[in-house]
Amino acid sequence: MQQLPLLLPGRFVAWGALLAFPMSSPMPSLPPPMEPQILRLLVTMVFHDTTRSADTQGTALLGDVPTHAMDCGTCPIRFHQPWACQGLSPKQWGDLEKAIHLYLVLITRTVVTVVQGTVMNFPFVIQILMGCEVLPNGTSYSFYQSTRDRHSLVRFNLDTGEWVAAPGDEMAQQVCRSFSQDQGTSSRLRFLLQKTCVAEILNFVYYGKETLKRQERPVAVVFARQPPIALELPQLLICRVTGFYPRPIRVTWLRDGEEVTPGPGLNSSGLLPNADLTYQLRIVLAVDPGAGHSYACHVEHSSLGHQGLIVYWGPGGHWAVGLAVGIAISLLAAAVLAAVLWWMRHRSTWSEQRNSMGL
Nearest partner of 73 among 104, 113, 40, 48, judged by Cα:
104
**More confident site: 194 or 103:** 194
Backbone angles phi, psi at 64, to 5 degrees: -115, 20
Backbone torsions φ then ψ of 235, nearest 5 degrees: -75, 145
CA angle 150, 156, 162 (to 5 degrees): 140
In this predicted structure, the answer to whether residue 4 has a pLDDT above a threshold of 50 is no
Compare 86 and 17 and report the one with higher pLDDT. Answer: 86
User: Mean pLDDT, to the nearest integer, of 140-156?
Assistant: 95
Q: Which residue has the higher pLDDT, 132 or 119?
A: 132
Between 223 and 117, where is the model more confident?
223
Q: What pLDDT, on the 0 to 100 scale, is given for residue 189?
A: 82
Structure confidence by residue, pLDDT tens digits, 181-220: 878 778 888 888 999 899 999 999 999 999 988 999 999 9
195 or 106, which is more confident?
195
Tens-place pLDDT, residues 297-320: 999 999 999 889 999 996 544 434
Confidence (pLDDT) at 248: 92
Which stretch, 13-22, 257-266, 331-340, has highest mean pLDDT?
A: 257-266
Pseudo-torsion of CA 283, 288, 292, 295, nearest 10°? 0
List all residues 6 or more positions away from 200 whose beta carbon is below 8 Å from its beta carbon: 39, 86, 87
Residue 2 binned pLDDT confidence (cut-offs 50, 70, 90): very low
Task: Kindly report, residue by residue over 281-299, the tens digit of the pLDDT.
Answer: 999 999 988 888 999 999 9
- DSSP state for residue 122 in the 8-state scheme: S
203 in Cβ contact with 27 (< 8 Å): yes
The pLDDT assigned to 320 comes to 40
Q: Is 349 exposed, middle or buried (0-12, 13-18, 19+ CB in 10 A)?
A: exposed
CA 171 – CA 193 distance, rounded (Å):
25
pLDDT at 323 over 60: no
Looking at every residue in the chain, the average pLDDT score rounds to 81
The single-letter DSSP state of residue 216 is B
Angle at 155 between CA 149 and CA 160, to 5 degrees: 175
| Predicted confidence (pLDDT) at residue 259 exceeds the cutoff of 90 | yes
DSSP labels, 151-174: EEEEEEETTTTEEEEPTT-HHHHH
Question: pTM of the full predicted structure?
Answer: 0.70
Domains of the chain from N-terminus onward: 10-212 (3.30.500.10), 219-314 (2.60.40.10)
Provide the 10 A C-beta neighbour count for residue 303. 15
Task: Give me the percent of the chain exceeding a pLDDT of 90.
Answer: 50
Q: What is the pLDDT of residues 61-86, one digit of tens each?
A: 999 899 999 999 999 999 999 999 98
The listed range with the strongest mean pLDDT (14-18, 33-37, 122-126, 130-134) is 130-134
> Parallel, antiparallel, or unpaired: how do β-strands 55-62 and 37-47 relate?
antiparallel
Nearest to 35 by CA among 112, 113, 105, 135: 135
